[in-house]
Amino acid sequence: MRNVLLKIQYDGSAFHGFQVQKEDVTVQQTLQDALVTLFGQPVTVTGCSRTDSGVHALWYVAKVTFNGNIAVEKIPYALATVLPKQLSVIDAAECDEDFHPRYDVVSKTYIYRVYVGRFLNPFESGYSWHCKFPIDVDKMNKAAACFVGKHDFKGFMASGSSVTDTVRTVSDCSVERFGDILQISITADGFLYNMVRIIAGTLVEIGGGKIDENDLPCIIASGIREKAGITAPAHGLFLAKVDYGKDVFSKDER
Amino acid sequence: MRNVLLKIQYDGSAFHGFQVQKEDVTVQQTLQDALVTLFGQPVTVTGCSRTDSGVHALWYVAKVTFNGNIAVEKIPYALATVLPKQLSVIDAAECDEDFHPRYDVVSKTYIYRVYVGRFLNPFESGYSWHCKFPIDVDKMNKAAACFVGKHDFKGFMASGSSVTDTVRTVSDCSVERFGDILQISITADGFLYNMVRIIAGTLVEIGGGKIDENDLPCIIASGIREKAGITAPAHGLFLAKVDYGKDVFSKDER
Protein backbone atom coordinates (compact mmCIF):
# COMPACT_ATOMS: atom_id res chain seq x y z
CA MET A 1 0.00 0.00 0.00
CA ARG A 2 1.15 3.55 -0.72
CA ASN A 3 0.68 6.45 1.66
CA VAL A 4 0.35 9.88 0.08
CA LEU A 5 -0.37 13.30 1.58
CA LEU A 6 -2.54 15.69 -0.44
CA LYS A 7 -2.56 19.44 0.08
CA ILE A 8 -6.06 20.60 -0.81
CA GLN A 9 -8.12 23.79 -1.08
CA TYR A 10 -11.89 23.94 -0.93
CA ASP A 11 -14.74 26.40 -0.94
CA GLY A 12 -16.67 25.40 2.18
CA SER A 13 -19.95 26.78 0.78
CA ALA A 14 -20.21 23.63 -1.31
CA PHE A 15 -19.68 21.10 1.49
CA HIS A 16 -21.17 20.02 4.80
CA GLY A 17 -17.74 20.02 6.42
CA PHE A 18 -14.90 17.56 5.93
CA GLN A 19 -16.09 14.37 7.54
CA VAL A 20 -18.23 11.76 5.75
CA GLN A 21 -21.93 11.94 6.63
CA LYS A 22 -24.84 9.74 5.66
CA GLU A 23 -26.76 12.18 3.48
CA ASP A 24 -24.77 15.32 2.79
CA VAL A 25 -21.92 16.17 0.43
CA THR A 26 -18.65 16.38 2.36
CA VAL A 27 -15.03 16.96 1.37
CA GLN A 28 -13.93 13.50 2.53
CA GLN A 29 -16.68 11.76 0.54
CA THR A 30 -15.98 13.83 -2.59
CA LEU A 31 -12.27 13.07 -2.35
CA GLN A 32 -12.90 9.36 -1.73
CA ASP A 33 -15.28 9.11 -4.69
CA ALA A 34 -12.76 10.86 -6.97
CA LEU A 35 -9.95 8.53 -5.87
CA VAL A 36 -12.10 5.45 -6.38
CA THR A 37 -13.00 6.68 -9.89
CA LEU A 38 -9.31 7.22 -10.60
CA PHE A 39 -7.85 4.05 -9.08
CA GLY A 40 -10.81 1.67 -9.32
CA GLN A 41 -10.32 0.42 -5.76
CA PRO A 42 -11.22 1.40 -2.20
CA VAL A 43 -9.10 4.28 -0.87
CA THR A 44 -8.81 5.43 2.75
CA VAL A 45 -8.86 9.22 3.31
CA THR A 46 -7.82 10.68 6.67
CA GLY A 47 -8.05 14.44 7.27
CA CYS A 48 -6.01 16.86 9.40
CA SER A 49 -9.08 18.46 10.95
CA ARG A 50 -12.86 18.04 11.22
CA THR A 51 -13.75 21.40 9.74
CA ASP A 52 -17.37 22.47 10.18
CA SER A 53 -19.98 22.92 7.50
CA GLY A 54 -19.28 26.11 5.54
CA VAL A 55 -15.67 26.55 6.70
CA HIS A 56 -13.17 27.07 3.85
CA ALA A 57 -9.63 25.70 3.41
CA LEU A 58 -6.63 27.29 1.70
CA TRP A 59 -4.30 24.56 2.97
CA TYR A 60 -5.81 21.32 4.24
CA VAL A 61 -3.83 18.08 4.48
CA ALA A 62 -5.35 14.65 3.87
CA LYS A 63 -3.60 11.29 3.85
CA VAL A 64 -4.72 8.73 1.30
CA THR A 65 -3.80 5.03 1.36
CA PHE A 66 -4.14 3.04 -1.85
CA ASN A 67 -2.53 0.60 -4.28
CA GLY A 68 -1.22 2.01 -7.55
CA ASN A 69 1.86 3.05 -9.50
CA ILE A 70 0.93 6.62 -10.49
CA ALA A 71 3.86 9.04 -10.08
CA VAL A 72 3.13 11.17 -7.03
CA GLU A 73 3.55 14.47 -8.91
CA LYS A 74 0.87 13.39 -11.37
CA ILE A 75 -1.80 12.85 -8.69
CA PRO A 76 -2.99 16.51 -8.50
CA TYR A 77 -3.38 16.61 -12.30
CA ALA A 78 -5.20 13.28 -12.38
CA LEU A 79 -7.56 14.31 -9.57
CA ALA A 80 -8.27 17.64 -11.30
CA THR A 81 -10.02 15.68 -14.06
CA VAL A 82 -12.56 14.15 -11.66
CA LEU A 83 -13.00 16.69 -8.83
CA PRO A 84 -15.65 19.46 -8.77
CA LYS A 85 -14.42 23.05 -9.13
CA GLN A 86 -14.98 23.76 -5.43
CA LEU A 87 -12.21 21.33 -4.45
CA SER A 88 -8.62 21.32 -5.71
CA VAL A 89 -5.55 19.23 -4.92
CA ILE A 90 -2.53 21.55 -5.16
CA ASP A 91 0.30 19.27 -4.04
CA ALA A 92 1.01 15.60 -3.25
CA ALA A 93 3.91 13.83 -1.53
CA GLU A 94 4.70 10.30 -0.34
CA CYS A 95 4.64 9.84 3.45
CA ASP A 96 5.39 7.11 6.01
CA GLU A 97 2.74 4.58 6.88
CA ASP A 98 2.64 5.77 10.49
CA PHE A 99 2.32 9.49 9.67
CA HIS A 100 -1.01 10.81 10.92
CA PRO A 101 -2.29 14.05 9.36
CA ARG A 102 -4.17 15.04 12.53
CA TYR A 103 -2.12 13.68 15.45
CA ASP A 104 1.22 14.76 13.94
CA VAL A 105 0.22 18.42 13.56
CA VAL A 106 2.62 20.80 15.35
CA SER A 107 0.47 23.89 14.72
CA LYS A 108 -2.38 25.11 12.57
CA THR A 109 -3.18 28.63 11.40
CA TYR A 110 -6.71 29.88 10.81
CA ILE A 111 -7.76 33.15 9.22
CA TYR A 112 -11.08 34.76 10.06
CA ARG A 113 -12.30 37.47 7.64
CA VAL A 114 -14.62 40.32 8.63
CA TYR A 115 -16.06 42.69 6.01
CA VAL A 116 -16.67 46.21 7.36
CA GLY A 117 -18.00 47.95 4.22
CA ARG A 118 -21.23 49.88 4.66
CA PHE A 119 -23.20 47.73 2.20
CA LEU A 120 -23.16 44.06 1.31
CA ASN A 121 -20.38 43.18 -1.16
CA PRO A 122 -21.62 40.32 -3.39
CA PHE A 123 -18.06 39.06 -3.85
CA GLU A 124 -17.38 38.92 -0.10
CA SER A 125 -20.72 37.70 1.21
CA GLY A 126 -19.74 34.00 1.12
CA TYR A 127 -16.21 34.56 2.43
CA SER A 128 -16.47 37.01 5.32
CA TRP A 129 -18.70 38.10 8.19
CA HIS A 130 -20.36 41.42 7.36
CA CYS A 131 -20.21 43.75 10.39
CA LYS A 132 -21.79 47.15 9.75
CA PHE A 133 -20.97 48.86 13.06
CA PRO A 134 -17.76 50.89 13.65
CA ILE A 135 -14.86 48.65 14.70
CA ASP A 136 -11.65 49.79 16.43
CA VAL A 137 -8.87 47.58 15.01
CA ASP A 138 -6.29 48.80 17.57
CA LYS A 139 -8.53 47.62 20.39
CA MET A 140 -8.92 44.26 18.62
CA ASN A 141 -5.16 43.92 18.27
CA LYS A 142 -4.48 44.73 21.92
CA ALA A 143 -7.09 42.17 22.91
CA ALA A 144 -5.74 39.58 20.43
CA ALA A 145 -2.39 39.65 22.25
CA CYS A 146 -4.16 38.37 25.41
CA PHE A 147 -4.87 35.06 23.67
CA VAL A 148 -1.18 34.40 22.96
CA GLY A 149 0.45 31.89 25.33
CA LYS A 150 -0.61 28.71 27.13
CA HIS A 151 -4.14 29.13 28.46
CA ASP A 152 -7.13 27.05 29.49
CA PHE A 153 -9.55 27.92 26.66
CA LYS A 154 -12.55 26.23 28.28
CA GLY A 155 -14.63 29.41 27.91
CA PHE A 156 -13.84 29.48 24.19
CA MET A 157 -15.22 26.04 23.41
CA ALA A 158 -18.75 25.33 22.15
CA SER A 159 -20.89 24.12 25.04
CA GLY A 160 -21.62 20.42 24.66
CA SER A 161 -18.10 19.47 23.57
CA SER A 162 -16.82 16.46 25.50
CA VAL A 163 -13.12 17.41 25.40
CA THR A 164 -11.64 17.49 28.92
CA ASP A 165 -8.11 18.81 28.32
CA THR A 166 -8.91 22.38 27.30
CA VAL A 167 -5.40 23.84 27.59
CA ARG A 168 -3.94 25.04 24.28
CA THR A 169 -0.93 27.16 23.32
CA VAL A 170 -1.56 30.06 20.94
CA SER A 171 1.67 31.26 19.30
CA ASP A 172 0.15 34.10 17.29
CA CYS A 173 -3.08 36.07 17.31
CA SER A 174 -3.31 39.35 15.41
CA VAL A 175 -5.60 41.50 13.28
CA GLU A 176 -4.71 43.28 10.03
CA ARG A 177 -6.85 45.62 7.95
CA PHE A 178 -6.82 45.39 4.13
CA GLY A 179 -9.28 47.99 2.81
CA ASP A 180 -12.71 46.95 4.05
CA ILE A 181 -11.48 43.52 5.21
CA LEU A 182 -10.27 42.80 8.73
CA GLN A 183 -8.21 39.63 8.81
CA ILE A 184 -7.81 37.85 12.14
CA SER A 185 -4.94 35.30 12.12
CA ILE A 186 -4.49 32.74 14.86
CA THR A 187 -1.89 29.98 15.18
CA ALA A 188 -2.00 27.34 17.91
CA ASP A 189 -0.88 23.80 18.69
CA GLY A 190 -4.53 22.78 18.64
CA PHE A 191 -8.04 24.21 18.74
CA LEU A 192 -11.14 23.35 20.73
CA TYR A 193 -14.52 23.01 19.03
CA ASN A 194 -15.53 26.47 17.67
CA MET A 195 -12.52 28.09 19.42
CA VAL A 196 -11.50 30.30 16.48
CA ARG A 197 -15.08 31.39 15.78
CA ILE A 198 -15.63 32.30 19.47
CA ILE A 199 -12.29 34.18 19.58
CA ALA A 200 -13.26 36.02 16.36
CA GLY A 201 -16.71 36.86 17.76
CA THR A 202 -15.14 38.11 21.00
CA LEU A 203 -12.54 40.25 19.17
CA VAL A 204 -15.26 41.80 16.97
CA GLU A 205 -17.39 42.56 20.05
CA ILE A 206 -14.34 44.18 21.67
CA GLY A 207 -13.63 46.21 18.49
CA GLY A 208 -17.29 47.27 18.41
CA GLY A 209 -17.24 48.33 22.08
CA LYS A 210 -19.69 45.68 23.30
CA ILE A 211 -17.05 43.93 25.43
CA ASP A 212 -14.40 45.97 27.29
CA GLU A 213 -10.92 44.91 26.19
CA ASN A 214 -9.67 45.23 29.78
CA ASP A 215 -12.06 42.46 30.84
CA LEU A 216 -10.59 39.91 28.43
CA PRO A 217 -7.94 38.40 30.76
CA CYS A 218 -10.70 37.80 33.36
CA ILE A 219 -13.02 36.37 30.71
CA ILE A 220 -10.32 33.91 29.61
CA ALA A 221 -9.45 33.01 33.22
CA SER A 222 -13.13 32.44 34.13
CA GLY A 223 -13.50 29.51 31.74
CA ILE A 224 -17.17 30.43 31.36
CA ARG A 225 -18.52 30.24 27.81
CA GLU A 226 -21.23 32.85 28.43
CA LYS A 227 -18.66 35.50 29.38
CA ALA A 228 -16.92 35.27 25.98
CA GLY A 229 -18.36 36.78 22.79
CA ILE A 230 -20.67 35.25 20.23
CA THR A 231 -19.64 32.47 17.84
CA ALA A 232 -18.77 34.18 14.53
CA PRO A 233 -20.42 32.56 11.47
CA ALA A 234 -18.64 29.66 9.73
CA HIS A 235 -18.38 31.27 6.27
CA GLY A 236 -15.72 33.80 7.41
CA LEU A 237 -13.33 31.04 8.56
CA PHE A 238 -10.42 29.62 6.54
CA LEU A 239 -7.95 26.91 7.53
CA ALA A 240 -4.80 28.64 6.22
CA LYS A 241 -1.81 26.45 7.14
CA VAL A 242 -0.98 23.09 8.69
CA ASP A 243 2.53 22.81 10.11
CA TYR A 244 4.14 19.43 10.90
CA GLY A 245 7.45 20.95 12.01
CA LYS A 246 9.06 19.73 8.77
CA ASP A 247 8.47 20.03 5.03
CA VAL A 248 6.07 17.29 4.08
CA PHE A 249 5.52 18.66 0.56
CA SER A 250 7.95 19.49 -2.23
CA LYS A 251 9.64 22.87 -1.92
CA ASP A 252 9.39 23.89 -5.55
CA GLU A 253 5.76 24.94 -5.43
CA ARG A 254 4.84 28.31 -6.89
CA MET B 1 -41.92 61.26 -10.75
CA ARG B 2 -38.47 61.02 -9.18
CA ASN B 3 -35.37 59.98 -11.09
CA VAL B 4 -32.66 58.27 -9.10
CA LEU B 5 -29.34 56.70 -10.13
CA LEU B 6 -28.23 53.56 -8.31
CA LYS B 7 -24.65 52.36 -8.18
CA ILE B 8 -24.80 48.57 -7.95
CA GLN B 9 -22.51 45.56 -7.65
CA TYR B 10 -23.44 42.05 -8.65
CA ASP B 11 -22.00 38.57 -8.90
CA GLY B 12 -22.78 37.64 -12.50
CA SER B 13 -22.78 33.89 -11.71
CA ALA B 14 -26.27 34.36 -10.29
CA PHE B 15 -27.80 36.17 -13.28
CA HIS B 16 -28.47 35.72 -16.97
CA GLY B 17 -27.08 39.17 -17.73
CA PHE B 18 -28.63 42.55 -17.00
CA GLN B 19 -31.58 42.78 -19.34
CA VAL B 20 -35.04 41.38 -18.58
CA GLN B 21 -35.73 38.03 -20.27
CA LYS B 22 -38.84 35.92 -20.38
CA GLU B 23 -37.66 32.94 -18.35
CA ASP B 24 -34.33 33.62 -16.69
CA VAL B 25 -33.26 35.56 -13.61
CA THR B 26 -31.67 38.86 -14.67
CA VAL B 27 -30.31 41.85 -12.77
CA GLN B 28 -32.92 44.23 -14.20
CA GLN B 29 -35.81 41.94 -13.23
CA THR B 30 -34.41 41.35 -9.72
CA LEU B 31 -33.98 45.10 -9.20
CA GLN B 32 -37.44 45.87 -10.57
CA ASP B 33 -39.07 43.24 -8.33
CA ALA B 34 -37.25 44.60 -5.27
CA LEU B 35 -38.33 48.17 -6.05
CA VAL B 36 -41.93 47.12 -6.59
CA THR B 37 -41.88 45.29 -3.23
CA LEU B 38 -40.47 48.41 -1.60
CA PHE B 39 -42.63 51.09 -3.24
CA GLY B 40 -45.75 49.10 -4.11
CA GLN B 41 -45.93 50.59 -7.60
CA PRO B 42 -44.44 50.01 -11.06
CA VAL B 43 -40.83 51.21 -11.36
CA THR B 44 -38.83 51.72 -14.56
CA VAL B 45 -35.21 50.48 -14.46
CA THR B 46 -32.76 51.54 -17.20
CA GLY B 47 -29.21 50.16 -17.21
CA CYS B 48 -25.87 51.61 -18.34
CA SER B 49 -24.92 48.49 -20.30
CA ARG B 50 -26.34 45.19 -21.50
CA THR B 51 -23.85 42.97 -19.74
CA ASP B 52 -23.81 39.33 -20.82
CA SER B 53 -24.80 36.32 -18.79
CA GLY B 54 -22.08 35.55 -16.23
CA VAL B 55 -20.35 38.94 -16.40
CA HIS B 56 -19.81 40.62 -13.01
CA ALA B 57 -20.13 44.27 -11.98
CA LEU B 58 -18.20 46.21 -9.37
CA TRP B 59 -19.75 49.53 -10.49
CA TYR B 60 -22.89 49.42 -12.61
CA VAL B 61 -25.25 52.39 -12.92
CA ALA B 62 -29.01 52.02 -13.27
CA LYS B 63 -31.61 54.78 -13.40
CA VAL B 64 -34.92 54.17 -11.65
CA THR B 65 -38.05 56.26 -12.09
CA PHE B 66 -40.77 56.08 -9.44
CA ASN B 67 -43.11 58.00 -7.15
CA GLY B 68 -42.20 58.19 -3.48
CA ASN B 69 -40.78 60.34 -0.71
CA ILE B 70 -38.00 58.11 0.62
CA ALA B 71 -34.78 60.07 1.33
CA VAL B 72 -32.31 59.21 -1.41
CA GLU B 73 -29.56 58.18 1.01
CA LYS B 74 -31.93 55.63 2.57
CA ILE B 75 -32.59 53.80 -0.71
CA PRO B 76 -29.51 51.50 -0.55
CA TYR B 77 -30.41 50.44 3.01
CA ALA B 78 -34.06 49.88 2.10
CA LEU B 79 -33.13 47.82 -0.97
CA ALA B 80 -30.65 45.75 1.07
CA THR B 81 -33.63 44.32 2.97
CA VAL B 82 -35.23 42.88 -0.18
CA LEU B 83 -32.34 42.10 -2.56
CA PRO B 84 -30.55 38.73 -2.78
CA LYS B 85 -26.94 38.60 -1.55
CA GLN B 86 -25.57 38.47 -5.11
CA LEU B 87 -26.78 42.03 -5.80
CA SER B 88 -26.03 45.13 -3.74
CA VAL B 89 -26.89 48.82 -4.13
CA ILE B 90 -23.91 50.77 -2.80
CA ASP B 91 -24.94 54.37 -3.61
CA ALA B 92 -27.94 56.39 -4.79
CA ALA B 93 -28.34 59.96 -6.05
CA GLU B 94 -31.09 62.08 -7.61
CA CYS B 95 -30.65 62.80 -11.32
CA ASP B 96 -32.33 64.85 -14.04
CA GLU B 97 -35.26 63.41 -15.92
CA ASP B 98 -33.35 63.52 -19.18
CA PHE B 99 -30.19 61.87 -17.86
CA HIS B 100 -29.63 58.55 -19.64
CA PRO B 101 -27.38 55.99 -17.90
CA ARG B 102 -26.28 54.46 -21.22
CA TYR B 103 -26.24 57.30 -23.75
CA ASP B 104 -24.63 59.80 -21.34
CA VAL B 105 -21.61 57.56 -20.61
CA VAL B 106 -18.29 59.27 -21.36
CA SER B 107 -16.21 56.16 -20.75
CA LYS B 108 -16.42 52.73 -19.14
CA THR B 109 -13.67 50.62 -17.62
CA TYR B 110 -13.68 46.83 -17.68
CA ILE B 111 -11.33 44.48 -15.85
CA TYR B 112 -10.61 41.00 -17.16
CA ARG B 113 -9.02 38.58 -14.67
CA VAL B 114 -6.83 35.63 -15.70
CA TYR B 115 -5.68 33.04 -13.13
CA VAL B 116 -2.29 31.52 -13.98
CA GLY B 117 -1.78 29.17 -11.00
CA ARG B 118 -0.87 25.60 -11.87
CA PHE B 119 -3.99 24.07 -10.32
CA LEU B 120 -7.60 25.21 -10.08
CA ASN B 121 -8.17 27.65 -7.20
CA PRO B 122 -11.70 27.09 -5.83
CA PHE B 123 -11.94 30.74 -4.76
CA GLU B 124 -10.99 32.05 -8.22
CA SER B 125 -12.80 29.59 -10.47
CA GLY B 126 -15.94 31.74 -10.79
CA TYR B 127 -14.09 35.04 -11.09
CA SER B 128 -11.22 34.47 -13.52
CA TRP B 129 -10.19 32.51 -16.61
CA HIS B 130 -7.80 29.72 -15.63
CA CYS B 131 -4.88 29.59 -18.11
CA LYS B 132 -2.36 26.88 -17.29
CA PHE B 133 0.24 27.63 -20.01
CA PRO B 134 3.20 30.01 -19.50
CA ILE B 135 2.22 33.63 -20.19
CA ASP B 136 4.61 36.50 -20.89
CA VAL B 137 3.07 39.59 -19.25
CA ASP B 138 5.56 41.98 -20.90
CA LYS B 139 4.46 40.78 -24.34
CA MET B 140 0.82 41.25 -23.29
CA ASN B 141 1.52 44.79 -22.12
CA LYS B 142 3.33 45.76 -25.32
CA ALA B 143 0.42 44.39 -27.32
CA ALA B 144 -2.15 46.08 -25.05
CA ALA B 145 -0.69 49.47 -25.99
CA CYS B 146 -1.67 48.80 -29.65
CA PHE B 147 -5.35 48.96 -28.71
CA VAL B 148 -5.03 52.48 -27.28
CA GLY B 149 -6.33 55.23 -29.58
CA LYS B 150 -9.14 55.63 -32.08
CA HIS B 151 -9.50 52.43 -34.12
CA ASP B 152 -12.06 50.56 -36.14
CA PHE B 153 -12.62 47.54 -33.85
CA LYS B 154 -14.70 45.59 -36.38
CA GLY B 155 -12.43 42.53 -35.99
CA PHE B 156 -13.01 42.63 -32.23
CA MET B 157 -16.79 42.35 -32.38
CA ALA B 158 -18.79 39.13 -32.13
CA SER B 159 -19.87 38.03 -35.59
CA GLY B 160 -23.61 38.52 -36.01
CA SER B 161 -23.70 41.92 -34.32
CA SER B 162 -25.64 44.44 -36.37
CA VAL B 163 -23.70 47.54 -35.24
CA THR B 164 -22.38 49.46 -38.25
CA ASP B 165 -20.26 52.20 -36.62
CA THR B 166 -17.42 50.09 -35.24
CA VAL B 167 -14.97 52.90 -34.45
CA ARG B 168 -14.19 53.28 -30.74
CA THR B 169 -11.56 55.22 -28.78
CA VAL B 170 -9.62 53.25 -26.16
CA SER B 171 -7.95 55.56 -23.62
CA ASP B 172 -6.24 52.86 -21.57
CA CYS B 173 -5.37 49.20 -22.02
CA SER B 174 -2.84 47.58 -19.70
CA VAL B 175 -2.00 44.38 -17.85
CA GLU B 176 -0.84 44.05 -14.24
CA ARG B 177 0.19 40.93 -12.34
CA PHE B 178 -0.89 40.40 -8.72
CA GLY B 179 0.48 37.02 -7.60
CA ASP B 180 -1.23 34.38 -9.77
CA ILE B 181 -3.75 36.89 -11.16
CA LEU B 182 -3.24 38.85 -14.37
CA GLN B 183 -5.55 41.84 -14.47
CA ILE B 184 -6.31 43.36 -17.87
CA SER B 185 -7.84 46.87 -17.60
CA ILE B 186 -9.43 48.59 -20.57
CA THR B 187 -11.15 51.99 -20.73
CA ALA B 188 -12.99 53.24 -23.81
CA ASP B 189 -15.77 55.60 -24.86
CA GLY B 190 -17.78 52.56 -25.88
CA PHE B 191 -17.48 48.84 -26.52
CA LEU B 192 -18.73 46.60 -29.31
CA TYR B 193 -20.42 43.29 -28.52
CA ASN B 194 -17.83 40.97 -26.88
CA MET B 195 -15.04 43.50 -27.58
CA VAL B 196 -13.38 43.21 -24.14
CA ARG B 197 -13.58 39.42 -24.15
CA ILE B 198 -12.03 39.22 -27.65
CA ILE B 199 -9.28 41.69 -26.67
CA ALA B 200 -8.62 39.63 -23.51
CA GLY B 201 -8.53 36.40 -25.53
CA THR B 202 -6.15 37.98 -28.03
CA LEU B 203 -3.83 39.34 -25.32
CA VAL B 204 -3.70 35.95 -23.58
CA GLU B 205 -2.91 34.22 -26.90
CA ILE B 206 -0.14 36.77 -27.47
CA GLY B 207 1.22 36.21 -23.93
CA GLY B 208 1.11 32.46 -24.54
CA GLY B 209 2.95 32.77 -27.89
CA LYS B 210 0.06 31.59 -30.05
CA ILE B 211 -0.29 34.97 -31.78
CA ASP B 212 2.82 37.05 -32.61
CA GLU B 213 2.60 40.45 -30.88
CA ASN B 214 4.10 42.09 -33.97
CA ASP B 215 1.09 40.99 -36.02
CA LEU B 216 -1.40 42.81 -33.78
CA PRO B 217 -1.48 46.18 -35.66
CA CYS B 218 -2.25 44.27 -38.88
CA ILE B 219 -4.88 42.14 -37.13
CA ILE B 220 -6.62 45.29 -35.83
CA ALA B 221 -6.35 47.01 -39.24
CA SER B 222 -7.73 43.95 -41.09
CA GLY B 223 -11.12 44.20 -39.38
CA ILE B 224 -11.44 40.40 -39.71
CA ARG B 225 -12.83 38.62 -36.64
CA GLU B 226 -11.08 35.33 -37.47
CA LYS B 227 -7.64 36.98 -37.33
CA ALA B 228 -8.13 38.10 -33.73
CA GLY B 229 -7.91 35.73 -30.75
CA ILE B 230 -10.61 33.68 -29.07
CA THR B 231 -13.43 35.16 -27.00
CA ALA B 232 -12.36 34.83 -23.36
CA PRO B 233 -15.06 33.33 -21.08
CA ALA B 234 -17.63 35.67 -19.49
CA HIS B 235 -16.88 34.76 -15.85
CA GLY B 236 -13.49 36.59 -15.89
CA LEU B 237 -15.07 39.92 -16.89
CA PHE B 238 -16.00 42.75 -14.50
CA LEU B 239 -17.55 46.13 -15.33
CA ALA B 240 -15.35 48.23 -13.04
CA LYS B 241 -16.26 51.89 -13.59
CA VAL B 242 -18.78 54.06 -15.44
CA ASP B 243 -17.68 57.64 -16.02
CA TYR B 244 -20.15 60.40 -16.95
CA GLY B 245 -17.53 63.17 -16.99
CA LYS B 246 -18.90 64.50 -13.69
CA ASP B 247 -19.71 63.22 -10.21
CA VAL B 248 -23.17 61.76 -10.32
CA PHE B 249 -22.90 60.19 -6.85
CA SER B 250 -22.05 61.68 -3.47
CA LYS B 251 -18.37 62.14 -2.79
CA ASP B 252 -18.34 60.97 0.83
CA GLU B 253 -18.37 57.27 0.03
CA ARG B 254 -15.83 55.04 1.77
pLDDT digit string, tens, across residues A36-89: 999 998 899 999 998 889 999 999 999 999 988 899 999 999 999 999 999 999
Give the end of a domain, one of A53, A79, A104. A104
- Residue of chain A nearest B85, judged by CA positions: A122
- Residue of chain B nearest A75, judged by CA positions: B119
Query: Of these residues, B52, B96, B152, B189, which one is catalytic?
Result: B52
| Structural domain contains residue A252 | no
| Structural domain contains residue A85 | yes
Q: Let me know whether B67 and B133 are in one domain.
A: no
Q: Let me know whether B167 and B221 are in one domain.
A: yes
Q: What is the DSSP letter of A192?
A: -
pTM for the whole thing?
0.92
Q: Let me know whether A139 and A225 are in one domain.
A: yes
- Residue of chain A nearest B86, judged by CA positions: A122
Q: Let me know whether A12 and A65 are in one domain.
A: yes
CATH number at residue B67: 3.30.70.580
Give the end of a domain, one of B104, B129, B158. B104
Q: Let me know whether B90 and B187 are in one domain.
A: no
CA–CA dist B157, B166 (Å, integer): 8
- The ipTM (two decimal places) reads 0.90
Ranges in chain A, pLDDT < 70: 251-254
| Structural domain contains residue A247 | no
Q: Let me know whether B76 and B188 are in one domain.
A: no
Asked if A11 is an interface residue toward chain B (Cβ–Cβ < 8 A), one would say: yes
| Structural domain contains residue B245 | no
Q: Let me know whether A139 and A160 are in one domain.
A: yes
| Structural domain contains residue A248 | no
| Structural domain contains residue A253 | no
Q: Let me know whether A125 and A196 are in one domain.
A: yes
Q: Let me know whether B119 and B234 are in one domain.
A: yes
Residue among A87, A118, A125 minimizing CB distance to B122: A87
Is B52 labeled as catalytic in the residue annotation?
Answer: yes
Beta carbon pairs, A and B, within 8 Å: 56
CA B166 to chain centroid, in Å, comes to: 18
Which residues form the domain of B9?
2-104
Distance from CA of A62 to the nearest CA of B (A): 17
Give residue-wise pLDDT tens across range B96-131: 999 999 999 999 999 999 999 999 999 999 999 999
Give the end of a domain, one of A46, A80, A104. A104
Q: For chain A, how many structural domains are there in total?
A: 2
Q: Let me know whether A183 and A220 are in one domain.
A: yes
Distance from CA of A80 to the nearest CA of B (A): 8
Distance from CA of B10 to the nearest CA of A (A): 6
CATH number at residue A205: 3.30.70.660
For B141-161, letters b (16+ CB in 10 Å) and e give bebbebbbeebebbbbbeeee
| Structural domain contains residue B151 | yes
Q: Let me know whether A118 and A84 are in one domain.
A: no
Give residue-wise pLDDT tens across range B225-238: 999 999 999 999 99
Q: Let me know whether B66 and B178 are in one domain.
A: no
